[in-house]
Amino acid sequence: MSSDGGGTASILALMIAETRLRQMFEEWCDPADCRAGIELCPGGDPIVRWAHLRQLGLCDELERIADSLPAAVDKIRCLAVANTLVPLLRDIHRYEEQAVFPVFQSMEGCAELRAATIQRLCAEHLEDECFADEVTEALLAIGHGHPVGNAEAIGFMLRGLFETMRRHVAFEREHVMPLLDPQRCKRLS
């Protein structure tokens, strides 16, 4: 594929991810949450603020499932989370990598640190998506009535994913998004 074709494909992928995120944003966003103050959701991009809230909501769902294992597990909840988890993470990650991170990288000062931060966050995106694939398989099996098997191992797997997702969102909220919010930057300087 030519470099021009790759660029076109990349732009198309970003447009698709952004369109899907905007559609989900409009469908699922509680307007009160999306107008939240800087303390709750720093950053000027309402899509990222909404994406963080959705990711944290998924973390809460994963925690509820882990806490309910093995006897009181809600199969419908397992199926709902399984069907949402990977597509949502992939769309959010693509949007961040192609729309947010380039702006973060282009800011003045500390270019090497910003590049290292972006590299770390992209690696975490890949790890989270791979982990989410494994969690999805387990949740689909439980949701379709397969025996839970080793509830402790499944609970540990779910907790491993939602804890890393929460840390990732916290890092972006505390270290990336405030720098992209012009109002916050004015108050800090």
Of the pLDDT bands very low, low, confident and very high (cuts 50, 70, 90), residue 3 is very low
Of 140, 117, 121, the residue nearest 129 (C-alpha): 121
For 3-180, CATH gives 1.20.120
Confidence at residue 6, expressed as pLDDT on a 0 to 100 scale: 54
Residues 6+ apart with CB under 8 A from 37: none
Confidence at residue 41, expressed as pLDDT on a 0 to 100 scale: 40
- pLDDT(158) > 90: yes
Range 65-71 average pLDDT: 92
- pLDDT(78) > 90: yes
Which segment of 51-60, 97-106, 155-164 scores lowest on mean pLDDT? 97-106
Of the pLDDT bands very low, low, confident and very high (cuts 50, 70, 90), residue 1 is very low
- The mean of the pLDDT values for the chain is 80
